[in-house]
Chain A
Amino acid sequence: MSAISQSHSQTAGRLAAFLARAFARPSFVVGIAILGLSLALALFPQVFAPYDPLAFDLQAMQQGPSLAHPFGTDNFGRDVLSRVIWAYRVDMQMAFFATIFALLIGLTVGAFVGYYGGIADVIFGRCVDAIITFPFLVLVIAIVAVLGPGLVNMYVAITAVNWVYYARLTRAEIMAQKANDYAAAGRVLGYSDRRIIFRHLLPNAISPIIVYWMTDMALAILLGSSLGYLGLGAQPPAAEWGVLIAEGRNFLMTAWWMSLMPGIAIVLTGLGFSLVGDALADLLRPKGR
């Protein structure tokens, strides 16, 4: 009993030490602060947003930033700040859902292909070639165009292309780990292939994949808002940064805040993901053991 609690306290101690090292990095602190705030805004927009994001106010159309409307109002008199805040909900969702399935599929496929090699690897290689031959955005747009616009179809389209990048990375990492004796040791101990792959190889291979995932979430927001801008992602009147920028593009000269404010939100959130990803890359890098 005491040994079990001791084991827990040791694990907790290691976690605490890791967090201490993480929070000693300014880039990690800034990144985590941005992401924490973004997450709070995404989870509870109704708490933070001063107005209803969809409520027209025809008395206050296209007003510049003021105390009543810090980010100004749009061409229907909707409060831009409230719309940017409500858009966090959609855009943070995009960061997650556009990447998580690609991550899971890529991890599984890449792990098996990297471990077994042979004919599966050859077939996989050709599939990868076929997919990465197309420019990423063009392929995604083509798939969305076939499926029809909308958030869910956008996730499907992005996942269909994006998993390849995770699978490629995982495959390479697993192949490198496989060369270590502990993989052979697992085999001579009579462990199943699945156990060796998922319990021994993958945990040792996962750090660069996690780091890539962080950066990819930033890219997913950019991609999602690009598609929103093009009218292929989130649909108006829903608030989404790409949609907001698109709505403001006709009024750039007269009401620049309509496009600028959601643009700043995109940059800031992307920066948060990048900073955290960058810090994790340093923190998770294997030290000279």
Chain B
Amino acid sequence: MATRRKSIVLDVKHLRTEFGTRERPLVAVDDVSFQVGQGEILGLVGESGSGKSITLRSILGIVRPRGRVAGEIRWNGQDLVSLSEKQLRRIRGREIAMIFQEPMSSLNPLLPVGLQISENLVAHTDLDAKARKARAIELLELVGIPAARNRLDDFPHEFSGGMRQRVMIAIALASNPKLLLADEPTTALDVTIQDQILRLIQQLSRDLGMAVILVTHDMGVVAETCDRVAVMYGGRLCEIGQTADVIADARHPYSLGLLRSIPRDVAPRTPLYSIPGAPPALNALPPGCAFSARCPVAGAECPEVRPGLQSIGGLRQVACHHLGDAQAHFRPREAAQ
């Protein structure tokens, strides 16, 4: 695939988010750097607790005040990390929008959806009541809600899960954001609806030139939707690159393990592969590679020395001391399957 790169809209450098006391901080996101281009969909993949949601929430500063964010988040020439809550409020919802995992609870149950859309328009645009209503209908049509005009006065509980997620997207799109942060937007939906929502996000990103960061734990979702993918583990990046490259030719042992755990062309009743062990707790991360405890090819230095992200050609970057061993460990079995 050609490496066409558009202008970069979001540039995250050495992002670090920690909770708890300053003396014994719990580091949820550690030295994470990535960039998102205009109109690009970046997938952020990892297990629960790998720090992917916290990364998203750090971008908008909503982990504060309990969480502390350090590093640099460059957005339109501003560093979001250094902005006050008040300055951030002007960016939230207007330039960067976010949707959540649970469409059931992310809408206010007591307000009709039309009001919830126009509330965002009141906060971020100068439209009058009539124009807001027209825009609300337009947005609901844009996200594919049938008979949008008649549904403005409906309450969230009168919509199905998938339709609610569409409403959420419509609210998020109300003020034409340049970046959409999607925190597992399809996890709570069933598979056919999941597919529709992903297509919708893809199509909106293409039509509106909107960048998207899609957090998910599902490699299938990434393969289907994202231009690039970043794999996270224990609050750190393991691997980042074009989706097709990473899926066809993963290098980090963790990415290899994740891909291995997707059943492909296996006979019925074959036990599924799973990566042995469980993710480390935030207060028990080793100073070195976070994955070392579960890694099949870890050496003696792995828990001690942190591997940095190294470029391995093109736009691929991987953080591992034993790239060769990982290949050797996973390849033969891949071939055997």
Contact = CB atoms under 8 A, between A and B. Distances in A.
Interface of A: 3, 6-7, 10, 118, 180-182, 184-192, 195, 199-200, 203-204, 289
Contact of A3 (B90, B109, B149): B149
A7 B157 contact: no
Nearest to B60: A188
Contacts of B60: 188
A189 B97 contact: yes
Instruction: Sort A-B residue pairs by CB-CB distance and give the 8 closest, nearest first.
Output: A190-B93, A181-B106, A189-B93, A190-B92, A188-B98, A289-B157, A181-B105, A181-B100
Contacts of B181: 188
A203 B115 CA distance: 15
B137 to A, nearest CB: 9
Contacts of A187: 62, 92
Interface in B94-114: 94, 97-98, 100-102, 105-112
A190 B97 CA distance: 9
Given A187-B62, A191-B123, A182 B92 contact: no
B326 interface: no
Q: Which interface class (under 10, 10 to 19, 20 to 34, 35 or more) fits B?
A: 35 or more
The secondary structure that dominates the A interface is helix
Interface of B: 60, 62, 65, 88-94, 97-98, 100-102, 105-112, 119-120, 123-124, 133, 149, 152-153, 157, 168, 171-172, 181
11 contacts: A7-B112, A181-B106, A182-B109, A185-B168, A185-B171, A188-B93, A189-B123, A190-B88, A190-B90, A190-B91, A195-B123
Nearest to A14: B155
Nearest to B99: A185
Given A184-B100, A188-B98, A189-B97, 15 more contacts: A3-B152, A180-B106, A181-B106, A182-B105, A182-B106, A185-B107, A188-B97, A189-B123, A190-B90, A190-B123, A191-B93, A195-B123, A200-B108, A289-B109, A289-B157
Contacts of A10: 153
A134 to B, nearest CB: 35
A196 to B, nearest CB: 10
A93 to B, nearest CB: 32
A190 B94 contact: yes
A191 B175 CA distance: 13
A202 to B, nearest CB: 10
B102 A188 contact: no
A184 B183 CA distance: 12
Contacts of B90: 190
Contacts of A7: 112, 152-153
A21 B249 CA distance: 63
Given A7-B153, A190-B90, A190-B93, A185 B106 contact: yes
A204 B60 CA distance: 25
Contacts of A6: 153
B92 A188 contact: yes
Nearest to B149: A3
Given A6-B153, A7-B153, A189 B110 contact: no
